[in-house]
Amino acid sequence: MNWKHLLFLLFLLTTACGQNSVLPLPQDSFEEVTATPLPTNTPQPTAVPILEDASGIGRAFVRAWEEMDYLGMYSLLSPQSQSLVSPADFVQIYTETMTTAAVQTISSQPLSTYQEGDKAEFEVQVTWETAVVGPIIREHTIPLTYDNNRWGIVWDETLILPEMAPGTHLYLDYRIPARANIYDINGLALAYQGSVISLAVVPGEIEDEEGLLTLLSQMLDEPPEDIYARYAEYQPDWRAPVGEVREEVMQTYAVALQPYIGKGLLPPTTRLARLYTEEGVAPHIVGYTGYISAEEVDAYKALGYRGDEQVGRAGLEKWGEDYLNGERGGTLTIVGASGEYITTVQERDPQQARSLYTTIDRDFQTAVEQALSDAINSRPIDDFGNLIGSAGSIVVMDVNTGAIRALASYPTYNPAIFDAVRLDSAVELGQVFSNPGQPLLNRAAQGAYPAGSTFKIITMAAALNSGIYTPETRYTSTGSWNRLGDNFIKYDWLEGGHGTVSLSTALTVSCNTCFYDVGYNLNELDPDLLPFTARQFGLGAPTGIQLAEAEGTIPSPEWKATTLGEGWVPGDAVNMAIGQGFVEVTPLQLVDVIAAVANGGRLYKPTVIDRIGAGGGAPEEPWQPTLRGELPLTQENLAAIQTSLWRVANDGNWGTAAHRFIGLPITVAGKTGTAEAPPGASHAWFAGYAPAGEGVEPEIAIVVMIEHAGEGSEVAAPIFRRIIELYYGITPLTPFPWATN
């Protein structure tokens, strides 16, 4: 018996000794078998339990989502999930999804965790706060796996939304409410959504050119030759736009236009547009709209905008954007790779926008704007052919509420030119932007100027509060003042001076040398006293109006050291005392001061909003007057200032502007100002209120400021009188002195 047979017998014996099964040998095993050791029963190693809590990774994942840290989220994915999606693709998926859904914030609430071996599930409720369809709340079961000694998220698109699947994405169908209107206090429109009718011709098809041009001239209120010039260079078969009209104009001329349609005139087309009054009333209050720029589009989309809308760019159009645009609604759906609809995630109806009602009366505002334009355009011409005083502003305020009753700035503009689709819009915009008079600048709120002698009201207040002056403190004016030394002699505006006057009379006659002396003495007492008093009057800071405004400048020792790196000297206080030097105020700030003087010391926050219209479930909301401070004056000292201002306009012997108000049936009080402003002529100011005097309650404060126009009493005071006449309906209107020469 050979060895192969012995091996076979051993195999059989092994089977007979109780083995339950035998692995069959291959048929040829009997031919070639190599002897190998038999396996032994060795113990298997015991699995090490996973002690790390999987919920920590789940919580970290949703926390990173809350912070929109998509790379942080990606770092927590399992190795296998990371192999299926790149970091860039992962970030792009989340970024596009959150942007499409207009997600503003994300919050989460952990619910439970299930963990067994190397598998776990983390349950969490995730809420998306969106700007368009409201909160989206979903519960997620986030699977985790333990691999490479760490827990990782097993990710797919369902972890964004349970309804999503690979290859799907979100689509948002916006529902945008109509932009609300801006009205005057009586409900007359200043800005509104409306239709514009576009007119165009095909030059080669015009049959009755003379008749067509005559009709278009009437409709567009333009010379026929200007309309002809718009299509003269066009090819005969081209479409040539010739103008646009509003619906009411089209209704007037629709019948007359009909015979020309198809005979050179194309059928009119309609588009929606933001419309303003024909004259563009109150542009520096109303403002204008414009398209969202590329740099802003992401920020606006996060607020729920689609990105192609027009939004407020200036004035109340900008300030009131949240009211005027309403609350967007829409339908958020999931679509497939080819754009096919799969399911709706959420939808919400839009909320009606809310109109703004301003504090101005449209007719009065128009009259004030016309008065300012007439006053400036009738001014004399200088040796270089320029108007003496070619820019300025007027502000009218209710002294008891801070409500602006009129605000005019000149040069001005029509907000309609910002309609980019409008014919000739680019040309008109170019003319406005290149105009050296800066028509877009709201001089009433954004123009900062030396206050000139109107600032003496503040200086007198500081003097009365100092303890070293009373209204009757005497000063002898000789026409010059030299307490700064012989190299810095200063002069009064009246040659030879005003003689011996009280502080109260010095304000009435606007005695410069008296106020130089006051500034010098106050500075010796406390260099911060005059600057501090000016700030208590609200100067050197924004008023808080709903429009863009300048802060102005109230210099002080600290301001000069910080801003200019220089020390404060007595001359700074002396110049400041008469509203010169570094002092700058806006007409809006000054009218606020004058209103507070008139009403007994209450400094109101100016407002151009009377009420917010109803809409979106909210009722009409009155805009409440808001105090921003109290004047730092006792009633006795305030009365002294009021008396001085009354004498300015009514005392024929002492008042610097009394001759301008002779015969005016409404008694006024005020202060002239002639502010040096090189290189041109001085700025002309008049700031006052009406009615004035004992036993009457003041109603309005008015500030007139004309740039480089000369003396306040000669230029600004007559314009102030015109505004009083317009407000109280006094006729006939008093001609401007320079217009009658």
- Let me know if residue 49 belongs to a domain: no
Domain-terminating residue out of 232, 265, 298: 265
Cα separation, 101 vs 92, in Å, equals: 14
pTM of the model: 0.86
pLDDT band at 250 (very low <50, low <70, confident <90, very high): very high
Residue pLDDT, tens place only, 266-292: 999 999 899 999 889 999 999 999 999
Q: Is residue 517 scored above 50 in pLDDT?
A: yes
CA distances from 581 to 55, 553, 684 (A): 68, 10, 17
CB atoms within 10 A of CB 46: 6
* DSSP symbol at 488: G
pLDDT band at 652 (very low <50, low <70, confident <90, very high): very high
Cα separation, 243 vs 300, in Å, equals: 32
**344/224 same-domain check:** no
The whole-number average pLDDT for the span 556-566 is 97
DSSP 329-395: EEEEEEE-TTS-EEEEEEEE--B----EEESS-HHHHHHHHHHHHHHHHTSPB-TTS-BSS--EEEE
Q: Is residue 578 scored above 80 in pLDDT?
A: yes
Domain-terminating residue out of 635, 650, 675: 635
- Let me know if residue 115 belongs to a domain: yes
**335/222 same-domain check:** no
Q: Which two tokens stand for residue 140?
A: 């997620």
Residue pLDDT, tens place only, 134-147: 999 999 999 999 99
Cα separation, 396 vs 592, in Å, equals: 10
Residues of 2-33 as b/e, b for ≥16 C-beta within 10 angstroms?
A: eeeeeeeeeeeeeeeeeeeeeeeeeeeeeeee
Q: What angle do CA 724, 725, 728 make, to 5 degrees?
A: 80
Q: Is residue 15 scored above 70 in pLDDT?
A: no
- Strands of 336-472, DSSP E: 341-348, 356-358, 392-398, 404-410
**153/177 same-domain check:** no
- Let me know if residue 698 belongs to a domain: no
**290/261 same-domain check:** no
Q: Is residue 307 scored above 60 in pLDDT?
A: yes
**139/182 same-domain check:** no
Q: Which two tokens stand for residue 424?
A: 């000739």
Q: Residue for token digits 């700074």?
A: 572
- Let me know if residue 576 belongs to a domain: yes
The whole-number average pLDDT for the span 20-38 is 41
**233/327 same-domain check:** no
**CATH number of the structural domain spanning residue 330:** 3.90.1310.10
**CATH number of the structural domain spanning residue 538:** 3.40.710.10
pLDDT score recorded for residue 422: 80
Q: Is residue 420 scored above 90 in pLDDT?
A: no
Contact 59, 151 (CB under 8 A): no
Host domain of residue 176:
167-191+277-353
pLDDT score recorded for residue 40: 52
Contact 724, 736 (CB under 8 A): no
**214/286 same-domain check:** no
3-state secondary structure of 215: helix
Among 341-350, 377-386, 702-711, the minimum mean pLDDT is found in 377-386
Average pLDDT value for the chain: 92
For the chain, what's the residue count? 741
**458/604 same-domain check:** yes
**600/581 same-domain check:** yes
Residue pLDDT, tens place only, 16-25: 444 433 334 3
Q: How many domains does the chain have?
A: 4
Domain-terminating residue out of 265, 289, 308: 265
